[in-house]
Structure 1
């Protein structure tokens, strides 16, 4: 039986790369992680993702797949076992919708609030997007700790915080995230809080 060759091109601190690592971990897939320098992209990354030229890129038996949500769907379809996405077509469509909403709306709003070092209007917008998500669901993180700003709290976003707390407890998730202290040191350096 032929063994699958699986490589993941990424950046250790990218949340998009982390979500792919988590999917691979959930499925129990062995893979080689190739750390990319986004200021000096490798020839392989440019070859495998010539359109966007960014990470993550999963290469499975020589075939590249890019964009984290597309990669996760691919992983779920190729490797059976523990499903990542719902099996029901409607529920799968809903999961795709919310993943896209988070990607296209919530993450940019959070990045803007973080990038502005917590300027009030940017935090308000991030909170607005999180509130919408919270309402539909019937995080606190190291960025908040480094900058001393609060983007999400348990009183305002109890479902998101509960989901986040449960998510972090999963071993496949823990193994897919960068070490907390490494990320904390990186962010302190990035934001000049050393």
Structure 2
């Protein structure tokens, strides 16, 4: 039997992506919890370049970066639903949206919740613009890939759960069902899927975890406004 290990963190949407993909494929794996503030020697060995989670180790061979891992899982295990379509053009579009969500969407939405002043307003505008594009791509489908959960849905997991918590903590209403009804329906479908809802981290625990981070960032912002440096 193939040995599969996942080095990740319970609070990370990136780790959660990999768990969802493995469970959809029916792959048995060992989850190894990492302290992102005190990384283990094995994690640093397996991911010496970025030194980040998640890392999938398959028969002793590490694969890093969640988007790369998702494609690896889809190509390695044929059981279960395909995460990417077979058509080359459709696969290219999935890669485009997944990359856009990671490189533009998530950073903008996090900045909208953590920053203040002009920087926050700019991030809110960028987030809203991307959400409008995403709203238009659903076109009445249950999921971004059609009737079943695919790679874009898994990558967008941070919007359906993590970002909702972040914006609540920040007192924002960037992504709401009133503003984006199709995305609201997608979130309901995604979060109510058995594999998803059975493996989400508890909302109260996740809220408490991020509240501490948000409070620390708010203190750093206040210090910066008083003449200190910007938080890293």
Q: Distance in 2 between matches of 1:55 and 1:91?
A: 28
How far off is 1:129 after superposition? 2.0
Matched pairs, number: 191
For structure 1, list consecutive stretches of 5 or more residues without a partner in the other structure: none
Contact 2:114–2:170 (8 Å) recurs in 1: no
Q: Distance in 1 between matches of 2:123 and 2:100?
A: 18
> Are 1:182 and 2:181 matched, yes or no?
no
* 2:100 matched residue in structure 1: 101
* 1:144 matched residue in structure 2: 167
Higher relative contact order (CA 8 A, sep 6+): 1
Runs of 4 or more off by more than 6 Å in structure 1? none
Pick the aligned partner of 1:64 from 57, 62, 65. 62
Q: Distance in 1 between matches of 2:182 and 2:103?
A: 20
* 2:87 matched residue in structure 1: 88
Taking structure 1 as reference, are residues 165 and 117 closer, same or farther at Cα in structure 2, changes over 3 Å only?
farther
How far off is 1:8 after superposition? 0.5
Equivalent position SS for 2:96 = helix
Equivalent position SS for 1:191 = helix
TM-score (norm 2): 0.76
Contact 2:8–2:53 (8 Å) recurs in 1: yes
Q: Distance in 1 between matches of 2:98 and 2:54?
A: 16
TM-score (norm 1): 0.90
Contact 1:25–1:175 (8 Å) recurs in 2: no
Taking structure 1 as reference, are residues 81 and 163 closer, same or farther at Cα in structure 2, changes over 3 Å only?
same
* 2:190 matched residue in structure 1: 167
* 1:78 matched residue in structure 2: 76
Over the aligned positions, Cα root-mean-square deviation in angstroms equals 1.9
Q: Distance in 2 between matches of 1:86 and 1:18?
A: 21
How far off is 1:117 after superposition? 6.1
* 2:122 matched residue in structure 1: 121
Bigger Cα displacement from structure 2, 23-32 vs 175-184: 175-184
How far off is 1:130 after superposition? 1.5
* 2:16 matched residue in structure 1: 18
Contact 1:6–1:59 (8 Å) recurs in 2: yes
